[in-house]
Amino acid sequence: MRFGRAIRGFVIPARGLSLLEETAWQRGKREASELANGRAILFMIVCAPIFALGGLFFALTGFWWPLRVFLAALIGLAVAVVAAFAVSGYYALRAPYRQRKEAREYARALETHVREYAEWARRREIADDFRRETLEHVRVIGDGQERRSASELDHDWRATVANVIAQLLAHGASDNTQALIEIDAQLRVLDAKEDGYGDDEIARIRNSMATTSWNVWSAMRGARHQRLRLLP
């Protein structure tokens, strides 16, 4: 029973293994099976020379015809087995090089993924800090504890926004990142002054601070990091 399972495991391609878990022989069996299933014509071309030998034997009329038929069937079976093992052996010999190449590519992809993930996480931290600190400042202004003039507050707010933009760009954000689009849109609204605040510049700036920080935080929280595509 164990011998039968060993033979079966040696001959039949393994299932459920990832490319990184395959041995060279398992890789060879799988690729030979894929060749036979997906490229039957090419597989028959590989087998044709051995089948031709069987045909020559079958053409010999000196043998009793039932014996020729029986032997031709055995030769055909042997040809199929030999061809499968030959192709599997060929792919098995090539497997170590291809597996090393795939492993290096996967390692590079993993390194890139880890680096990009760290940058993505840092951008979220920047958005979290921006929202928390800005809303605290908004509360201070709302309580009447802000002692600076509107122009000084406006200058400080724009400097804060510029610093956040620089941090996001330094950690992988692009110009079309939603968070940066939100910042640009809110600064345009602030400059346009098309709201109901009239001459109350501090209230206008306070509203801009609250809206911008919330929108940036929401945009970054909604951004999803692309998952690493694992080998099948």
Q: Is 24 exposed, middle or buried (0-12, 13-18, 19+ CB in 10 A)?
A: middle
* pLDDT tens column, 115-125: 888 999 999 99
pLDDT value of position 100: 75
pLDDT value of position 81: 66
pLDDT value of position 52: 56
pLDDT value of position 131: 95
Task: Say how far apart CA 80 and CA 86 lie, in whole Å.
Answer: 10
Which position has the token pair 């849109």?
185
pLDDT value of position 41: 55
Q: Are 57 and 75 in contact (CB under 8 A)?
A: yes
pLDDT value of position 10: 44
Task: Say how far apart CA 170 and CA 228 lie, in whole Å.
Answer: 22
pLDDT value of position 125: 94
pLDDT value of position 17: 58
pLDDT value of position 174: 85
pLDDT value of position 164: 96
Residues (pLDDT < 50) of the chain are 1-11, 230-232
